Amino acid sequence: MTLWSIFDLVKIESELCNYQKKSEAPDLWNDRDQAQQIMKKMADLQEDLDGWRTLQKRAGDTQELVEIGDESLRSELEREVIYLEQVIAQKEINVLLSGPYDKTNALLTVNAGAGGTDSQDWAAMLERMYLRYAERMGYATEILDFSEGEEAGIKSVTIAINGRYAYGYLLPEKGVHRLVRLSPFDSAHRRHTSFAQVEVLPDVGEGDPTVKISPDDLRIDIFRSSGAGGQNVQKNATAIRITHIPTGLVVTCQNERSQIQNRENAMRVLRSRLLEIQRQNQETQLAELRGEFIKTEWGSQIRSYVLHPYQMVKDHRTNYETGNTQSVLDGNIEGFVEAYLKSR
């Protein structure tokens, strides 16, 4: 099996050993944030190592049984081989996720674009798609902020998606998504094109050393939630708006009945957006040093979903496409994600 040459288990063991030595330092918890980072890294490496060792042993046991040549075991071994192939294919994709935040939780925001009610309905369709995808992947989800559409659908929604590799797998979805269909909101039932923008950020913890927020840089406003949420939300001022004065970033959160919970969630989103600004600035500086052309526009669509006059979903970055549009809208987007990761 050539997979072991792809992923160097000795390298994982060596890296884990280095972090274990750091964790034994007597002054480890003098810096609480750094200590937490070390412990988290150790846990991730140990999980990786255990998973690969278990798979390696299971594959070796299966190979030994195959070599025995007992026909009574054929059907059982065939099922085992199929299982191993599926797990290995998944791990090969995981190997591609080597970014500093690829293993973290994600914050995904869908914003309706130009197109009025049709685009707001399209944003709601995308929200459902990503919730279904998260369910397929075994990820937990939580709606942090939600703004209803005027007639149908949503103006925007921010979802916390919690699970290992959530950010790495969802990052390929970042960009503009385009829908072409016969509009259910057009009395003449004409074909409409709608747009929605998907934003994906790593859900960085409060102790992440790369993001430092001074309380003096924040302006916090409290207001009454608008839209659905129950009588308590309407009566009490629980919604939070946080403005980061140096950058002008504004984050709102109004989904929870608790003002404290809304504030915590808003800070989660703010930290992630500040981290993204830092990363974009770094990428821009590197590109300028290399003499590369930098695009500053909102950008064209990354994917088109055509429901009329034919059925097709196509990713314009990889040319990966499928005619089973309903399956995609039901959350089966693994093919698009994997095609992008492999092309990258």
Of all residues in the chain, the percent with pLDDT exceeding 90 is 51
304-313 long-range contacts (CB < 8 A, ≥24 apart) are: 304/178, 304/179, 304/180, 305/177, 305/178, 305/179, 305/180, 305/329, 306/180, 306/181, 307/179, 307/180, 307/181, 307/182, 308/180, 308/181, 308/182, 308/191, 309/191
- pLDDT the model gives residue 233: 42
- pLDDT the model gives residue 98: 80
> Could you give the CA distance from residue 36 to residue 209 in angstroms, rounded to a whole number?
11
- pLDDT the model gives residue 232: 40
Q: Give residue-wise pLDDT tens across range 3-17.
A: 544 456 788 888 889
- pLDDT the model gives residue 258: 85
Average confidence (pLDDT) over 63-72: 87
Q: Give residue-wise pLDDT tens across range 195-233.
A: 999 999 999 877 677 888 999 999 999 988 765 444 444
Domain boundaries, the chain: 3-95, 106-204+316-343, 215-290
- 215-290, which class in CATH? alpha beta
What is the pTM (predicted TM-score) of this model? Answer: 0.80
- 3-95, which class in CATH? mainly alpha
Query: Check: CATH 3.30.70.1660 for 106-204+316-343?
Result: yes
